[in-house]
C-alpha cells in the first residue's frame, strides 16, 4: 500500500493559508495528540502511548486534569483514568490489541467551568483486518439479473441548461434521468467544458441524506480541466427545490425509524438502495451515451455514502475505468457481529430490531466489501483515523479486499472530512490514470 501520511505538522500550513485567523478556527482551545509512532500504526501486541497537549489562548494548560476513556473503535471504554498536565503536556498509555483494529483514546478537560473534548485513534496491524460480511453465493446472479431487467427500459432523460451554474469556461445542465417504467427518476447537474472535443466522464454520487446538491460549483475545476462531471441526487427530488422543502421532506421520510437506509431491509428485492445502486449504473448508461464522451474513460468518485456508491458502481459496472472514494459508508455493516465497529449507518447501534437474520442477509447483497472484491478499475481511497461516522476499521477492510491496482492516502488526524487540497488531489490522480 502506498501511504501518504499527514502529521500534526500540517498545522503550520493551515496557519499560512488563513490570514489573520488562528487554528482551530476561532477557538480558544487547541488539543494536540502525538502517538509515539509517527504513522499512528502499531503491530498487534505492541504498546502505544500518546502525548496529549492542551492550550488555551495558545498558553499551555499547566496542572489541567485530563480525564480519558479508551476502547475499541466505536466500542465502549475498557480503560479509564486521568493525567495532570505539566506545562500543557502528559503521556497516556493507550495499551495494545491482540487482534487487528483500532483503539480510541477519548479525552475531556474542564477549564474555567467549561468542558472540552477530543479524541485520537491508533491502529494495530490494520492491514490485516478482514470483513465479517461474506459474499452470498448468488451475489453476482442477483445483480446481473437486476441490471438486465433495467436494460429493458430505454434510456430516457431531459436536459435543461442552467445559466446560474454556467461560466465562461463551463456549461451546466439539469438532467432528469428516468430509471424505469414505474416513473422513478433521479436528477443531476451535468457540467461540460465549454470547448470542442471529447472528454472523460465522471459520476459523482451524493453523501447520505435527503438534501439538495449543495455548492454545485465547488468542483467546477473538473469541467474546467477537461472532464464531463455528473453530480447526482438519489431520491428523485429536483435539486432546484428550496432548502425548506428538502428539510420538510427529510423530516417526514427520513427519521431514525423510517429512514431510507432502513426501508425494505427485510427483503433484498424490496430494499430502497436497490434502486439507488441501479441508478448509478443507469447514470453510466447516460454518460457513455453522450457524443462528447471520449469513448474510453469512465470515473466514479465520491465521499461517505458517495464513496460507497462510487465503489459499488465500479464493482457493478465494468465500464468504470477508475474509482476514487473517501471514507466509504455501507462497508462491513454487520461488523458489529464480530465485536468491533461496523460501517455507517450503524444499524445495530442506532435503531432497534435491526439484528435479524433477514436484515443481515439483505445487508450482504448491498455491502461495499462484496462489490469491492469485483472491482478491476484503478482505485484510489482516502480516509482518516479519527472518523466516527465511517470508522477507519471499515475503510481498511474495504481497501484490504480490493484486488485491483490501488493506492491510498491515509490522513490519520482527519475525522469525517476531507480538505479542499485532498479533494483537488482526486482530480490530479484521475488525470494520471486516464486511458
Catalytic residue ranges: 304, 387, 416
d(CA 308, CA 304): 6
Cell numbers found for residue 24:
482551530
345 prior amide bond cis, ω within 30: yes
**Cα–Cα–Cα angle for 246, 395, 69, rounded to 5 degrees:** 90
d(CA 92, CA 124): 17
Residues 6+ positions from 89 with CB-CB distance below 8 Å: 51, 52, 53, 60
CB count in 10 Å sphere of residue 58: 9
Beta strands in 29-169 (DSSP E): 29-35, 41-42, 48-56, 59-60, 65-72, 77-84, 89-95, 101-111, 114-124, 157-161
d(CA 321, CA 219): 20
**Cα–Cα–Cα angle for 118, 83, 9, rounded to 5 degrees:** 45
Among 390, 250, 222, smallest CA distance to 306 is for 390
Cell numbers found for residue 318:
465494468
Cell numbers found for residue 336:
458489529
Cell numbers found for residue 391:
470508522
DSSP letters for 212-265: ----TTTTTHHHHTT-EEEEE-SSS--TTS-HHHHHHHHHHH-STTT-TTTTTT
Among 357, 180, 374, 153, smallest CA distance to 274 is for 180
Cell numbers found for residue 398:
474495504
Radius of gyration of the chain (CA): 23
What Cα–Cα distance (Å) separates residue 377 from each residue in 127, 224, 374, 416?
A: 21, 24, 9, 25
Taken in order 189, 190, 194, 200, is the CA torsion positive or negative?
positive
Phi, psi of 364 (to 5 degrees): -65, -30
Amino acid at each position: 500500500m502506498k501511504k501518504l501520511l499527514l502529521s500534526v505538522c500540517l498545522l503550520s500550513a493551515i496557519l499560512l493559508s488563513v490570514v489573520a485567523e488562528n487554528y482551530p478556527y476561532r477557538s480558544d482551545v487547541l488539543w494536540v495528540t502525538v502517538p509515539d509512532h509517527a504513522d499512528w500504526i502499531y503491530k498487534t501486541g505492541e504498546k502505544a502511548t500518546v502525548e496529549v497537549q492542551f492550550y488555551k489562548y495558545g498558553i499551555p494548560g499547566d496542572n489541567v486534569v485530563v480525564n480519558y476513556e479508551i476502547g475499541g473503535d466505536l466500542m465502549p471504554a475498557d480503560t479509564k483514568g486521568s493525567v495532570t498536565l505539566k506545562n500543557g503536556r502528559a503521556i497516556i498509555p493507550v495499551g495494545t490489541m491482540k487482534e487487528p483494529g483500532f483503539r480510541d483514546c477519548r479525552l475531556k478537560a474542564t477549564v474555567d467551568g467549561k468542558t472540552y473534548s477530543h479524541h485520537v485513534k491508533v491502529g494495530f496491524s490494520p492491514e490485516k483486518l478482514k470483513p465479517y460480511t461474506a459474499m452470498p453465493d448468488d451475489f453476482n446472479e442477483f445483480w446481473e439479473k437486476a441490471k438486465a431487467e433495467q436494460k429493458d427500459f430505454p434510456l430516457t432523460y431531459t436536459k435543461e441548461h442552467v445559466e446560474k451554474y454556467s461560466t465562461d469556461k463551463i456549461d451546466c445542465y439539469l438532467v432528469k434521468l428516468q430509471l424505469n417504467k414505474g416513473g422513478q427518476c433521479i436528477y443531476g447537474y451535468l457540467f461540460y467544458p465549454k470547448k470542442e472535443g471529447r472528454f472523460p466522464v465522471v459520476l459523482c454520487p451524493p453523501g447520505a441524506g435527503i438534501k439538495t446538491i449543495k455548492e454545485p460549483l465547488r468542483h467546477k475545476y473538473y469541467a474546467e480541466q477537461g472532464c464531463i462531471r455528473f453530480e447526482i441526487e438519489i431520491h428523485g427530488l429536483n435539486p432546484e427545490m428550496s432548502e425548506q422543502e428538502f428539510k420538510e421532506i427529510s423530516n417526514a421520510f427520513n427519521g431514525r425509524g423510517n429512514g431510507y437506509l432502513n426501508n425494505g431491509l427485510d427483503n433484498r428485492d424490496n430494499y430502497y438502495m436497490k434502486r439507488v445502486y441501479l441508478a448509478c449504473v443507469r447514470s453510466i448508461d447516460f454518460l457513455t451515451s453522450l457524443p462528447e464522451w471520449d469513448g474510453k474513460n469512465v470515473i466514479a468518485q465520491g465521499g461517505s455514502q458517495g464513496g460507497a456508491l462510487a465503489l459499488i458502481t465500479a464493482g457493478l459496472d465494468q465500464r468504470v475505468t477508475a474509482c476514487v472514494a473517501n471514507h466509504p459508508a455501507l462497508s462491513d455493516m454487520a461488523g458489529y457481529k464480530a465485536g468491533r465497529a461496523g460501517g455507517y449507518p450503524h444499524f445495530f447501534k442506532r435503531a432497534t430490531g435491526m439484528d435479524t437474520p433477514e436484515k443481515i442477509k439483505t445487508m450482504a447483497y448491498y455491502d461495499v466489501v462484496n462489490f469491492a472484491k469485483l472491482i478491476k478499475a484503478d482505485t484510489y481511497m482516502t480516509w482518516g483515523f479519527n472518523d466516527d461516522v465511517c470508522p477507519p476499521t471499515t475503510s481498511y477492510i474495504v481497501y484490504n479486499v480490493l484486488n485491483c491496482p490501488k493506492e491510498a492516502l491515509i490522513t490519520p488526524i482527519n475525522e469525517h472530512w476531507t480538505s479542499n487540497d485532498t479533494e483537488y488531489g482526486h482530480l490530479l490522480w484521475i488525470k494520471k490514470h486516464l486511458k
